[in-house]
């Protein structure tokens, strides 16, 4: 496996390997000071980022390499140089390319023309790096993954997609509660359900937020207006998603010891109340920290070529 473009690119064994290695990085953050000594990793961000960018840059530095962060106006890509040519040139310099942009097809084109690993740092459809940190956080909090029930409530886009795929790989009962018109992509749901059929997991989608969270060990949400969505959609989205706000009333239907998860940044008072995100059940800052340890594990496992991947299934 060369690239990490979506979570379902991993096998269940790959996922376990990344999570184990991430835990090792958490225990010993500087365990591989020279793995990438003298090398560079390029990080291309076509959207803002706090966690993904800084955690990857930090992970790259800890592995001994120099991170080179660039945006669209820094590269000739912004002036019309093709994705294909950019990918070929980057492959002559850097050891890996981390990319946050809009179109998944653009990232796939980049990966297909690069000889170095390409890592999806958030696209319209996927956020694989986030989902790995999410499962790492759940596993360290709960001591296990199998048998857990996790609900995502809200907009069924990138973060939800990757959580469904990761949950399926780990054999979780993972549910998505989203309003009609904002439910996850049927291709992603079908893919996650096919994986779950092999791992003993379960993937369901419902329009009922209460049904989604019923008895869950963790409830997850994300913003109602993602990067790239038009500001003009805000008023309509606030109305449609209002019944999906994660608040104490909704969490009362979950497990008594339910954990609250969010990829951040959050909008207190919209998708989650301040009481919940700042409360004792919230593990959002552990998720944020684990972005760093999983970034190191993703880089090491991809660069060592040890992940099997599911390219044949793609
Ligand atoms: N969760 C996440 O990806 O955050 P950033 O947008 O800050 O990178
Ligand atoms: N769904 C959000 C996630 C941000 C990390 C977005 O795409 O903006």
Backbone Cα Rg of the chain:
19
Q: Residue 90 is part of which domain span?
A: 7-126+291-313
pLDDT at 313: 44
Q: Which residues contact 40 (CB under 8 A, 6 or more apart)?
A: 65, 66, 67, 68, 93, 94, 95
Ligand nearest to the CA of 53: 1
| Catalytic position from the list 51, 100, 175, 237 | 100
pTM for this one? Answer: 0.98
* pLDDT, tens only, 156-198: 999 999 999 999 999 999 999 999 999 999 999 999 999 999 9
* pLDDT, tens only, 57-67: 999 999 999 99
Nearest CA to ligand 2 atom 7: 226
The domain that holds 146 is classified in CATH as 3.40.50.1370
pLDDT over 70, % of the chain: 99
* pLDDT, tens only, 32-54: 999 999 999 999 999 999 999 99
* pLDDT, tens only, 272-313: 999 999 999 999 999 999 999 999 999 999 999 999 999 754
Map residue 266 onto helix, strand or coil.
coil
241, burial (CB in 10 Å: exposed 0-12, middle 13-18, buried 19+) = buried
Nearest CA to ligand 1 atom 6: 49
Do 303 and 218 share a structural domain? no
pLDDT at 70: 98
Q: Is the CB of residue 115 below 6 angstroms from any atom belonging to ligand 1?
A: no
pLDDT at 311: 74
Q: Is the CB of residue 51 below 6 angstroms from any atom belonging to ligand 1?
A: yes
Residues 214-243, mean pLDDT to the nearest whole number? 97
| Number of folded domains that form the chain | 2
Do 113 and 54 share a structural domain? yes
């Amino acid at each position: 496996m060369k690239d990490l473009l979506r979570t379902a690119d991993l096998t269940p064994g790959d996922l376990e390997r990344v999570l184990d290695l991430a835990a090792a990085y958490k225990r010993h953050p500087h365990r591989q000071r020279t793995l990438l000594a003298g090398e560079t990793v390029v990080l291309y961000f076509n959207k803002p980022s706090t966690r993904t960018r800084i955690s990857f840059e930090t992970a790259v530095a800890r592995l001994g390499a120099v991170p080179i962060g660039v945006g669209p106006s820094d590269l000739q890509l912004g002036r019309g140089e093709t994705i294909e040519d950019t990918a070929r040139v980057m492959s002559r310099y850097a050891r890996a390319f981390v990319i946050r942009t809009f179109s998944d097809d653009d990232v796939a084109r980049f990966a297909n023309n690069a000889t170095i690993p390409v890592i999806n740092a958030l696209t319209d459809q996927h956020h694989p790096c986030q989902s790995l940190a999410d499962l790492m956080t759940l596993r360290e909090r709960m001591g296990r993954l199998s048998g857990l029930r996790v609900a995502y409530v809200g907009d069924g886009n990138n973060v939800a997609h990757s959580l469904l795929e990761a949950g399926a790989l780990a054999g979780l009962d993972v549910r998505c509660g989203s309003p009609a018109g904002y439910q996850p992509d049927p291709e992603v749901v079908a893919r996650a359900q096919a994986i779950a059929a092999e791992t003993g997991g379960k993937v369901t989608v419902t329009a009922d937020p209460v049904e989604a969270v019923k008895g869950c060990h963790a409830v997850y949400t994300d913003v109602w207006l993602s990067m790239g969505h038009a500001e003009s959609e805000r008023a309509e989205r606030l109305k449609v998603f209002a019944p999906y706000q994660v608040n104490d009333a909704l969490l009362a239907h979950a497990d008594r010891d339910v954990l609250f998860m969010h990829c951040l940044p959050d909008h207190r008072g919209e998708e989650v109340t301040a009481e919940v995100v700042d409360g004792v059940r919230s593990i959002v800052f552990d998720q944020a920290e684990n972005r760093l340890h999983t970034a190191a594990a993703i880089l090491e496992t991809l660069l060592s070529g040890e992940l099997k991947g599911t390219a044949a299934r793609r």
